[in-house]
Each structure stands twice: as structure tokens, then as C-alpha cells.
Amino acid sequence: MKKIELSSLFLVFIVAIGISNNAFAQNYTKLKWHLISLGYAIPSGTGSNGGIYIGTEPTYLIKDNISIGFKIETALTSKKVFNSNGALTDAKIAAVGSYLLTGDYYLSTQSNKRFFAGAGLGLANAASVGGSASIANLNTTISIASASGFGGLLRVGADIRNVRFSMAYNIIPSSKQSTIIASTETANQKQTEPQKLTNSYLGFGISIFIGGGYKK
């Protein structure tokens, strides 16, 4: 099902390129590919620590000041989980991914240094995380279920020659953590109320691209 949905997103991107092939971009090369994007990711929510993200994004100018694209990105962040008392404890590495149709609006059409604002919408997911610990004769098993659904982004930045500097807020579906506590002495166990963990993150990054150059 997921492969079908991703194929549909990419098909929409290709169709949009085909429809706009005879459109209005004249001052810039229409095709651009952000070969690699790297940056620092700051997760939302209490107890989350920073991480990194990596991505790639082909784009197409339908006008000199409007582009469409297809962005694939993965982020690895350190996320604290809840212990048996409901307090934040040891951090776990969490992976999230997004597959988005994007659009950018450029403020200039006469330069190779251009500020832009953009947005994206598509699919996003967060991988499952698990772990266990034994404290004071209590075995605690922690599991964070995977999450998937609609995702998005809002971003601003600048393209300077063949380098992009950007800041983006990435919207990722939230996960739920389950905690099972078992006594090593009595063999009794209980499960705490599921806790909601936020996966969205703010990213500051840089990307190197080819194409999209200013013709004049």
C-alpha cells in the first residue's frame, strides 16, 4: 500500500511537469536537483534532543518564481521515553521519514541569489522503537509504535548560486509509547497509560544542487 501511495505522489509530480512543460520559466534552467541536503534537526516535544537529517529533492520551475518538487528526507533524533513513574528517562534514537510534493515561491526573478518561501504535503512515518530495563526488581519493557500518515513542511531560505540555505518545520505523525512493568518477585505485571510522543522537527540545513541556473 505504501509503495502505491509513493508511486502516486511521484506520478503527480511527473504529470505536473508534463502539463507545465510549455510554461513560463525563461530566465532560469527549468530542472534543478538538490542532490544532497544535510542539516541539524530539533525535535518538538518535551525531552527530545537534536539530531541530523539527510535528503534529496528534484524540482522543476513552472515559472521563474514558482517551482514544484518531490522531496525525500530521513531524520535521526534522540528522543527520551517515559519510565514507570511517568517521568522522562533514557534517550532512544528515533528515525522519521517523509515523502512530499513541494512548492517554492521565489522573491526574485533576475538574480542567482534568491530568497524563497515554500510548503510541502505528502506522506510521513516514524519507525518503532523498543527497549527494556531492570530496576529494583521491576522489569520495564518500553515500546514505541510506528506511526504513518499525512505529513508536511513549511520552509524559508535562500538559493545562492548552487547552494541552498534553509529552515523548515517538518510535520510528522505522533507516536504512542506503551510501558509494561513486571515484578521479578511476584510475576505480576501492569501496563501504564499510552504516552503521546511528538515526531515533528525543525531543521536547519544546507543543500548542493545542480541545474536551475540563471541564464543571463
- The predicted-structure confidence for 140-198, as pLDDT tens digits, reads as follows 666 677 788 999 999 999 999 999 999 999 999 988 766 555 555 545 555 555 677 78
Phi, psi (5° rounding) for residue 7? -60, -40
**Mean pLDDT computed over 198-212:** 93
What is the signed CA dihedral for 174, 116, 9, 100, rounded to 10 degrees? -20
In a domain, 138, yes or no: no
Q: What angle do CA 170, 146, 166 make, to 5 degrees?
A: 15
Residue 96 in any domain: the answer is: yes
- Whether 111 is covered by a domain: the verdict is yes
Residue 188 in domain: no
Q: Do the domain assignments include residue 164? A: yes
pLDDT in tens, 89-134: 556 677 899 999 999 999 988 888 999 999 999 999 988 665 555 4
- Residue 206 inside a domain? The answer is yes
End-to-end CA distance of the chain: 46
Q: Rounded to two decimals, what is the model's pTM?
A: 0.79
The CATH number for 166's domain is 2.40.160.20
> Which domain, by its residues, includes 43?
2-82+89-128+148-173+198-211
13, part of any domain: yes
Which of these, 17, 167, 201, lies nearest to 98 by C-alpha position? 201
Half-sphere exposure of 165 (CA within 13 A, CB side): 6
Q: pLDDT tens digits for 27-78?
A: 888 899 999 999 999 988 765 678 999 999 999 998 899 999 999 999 998 7
Position 191 in a domain: no
d(CA 157, CA 95) in angstroms, rounded, equals 25
How many domains are there within the chain? 1
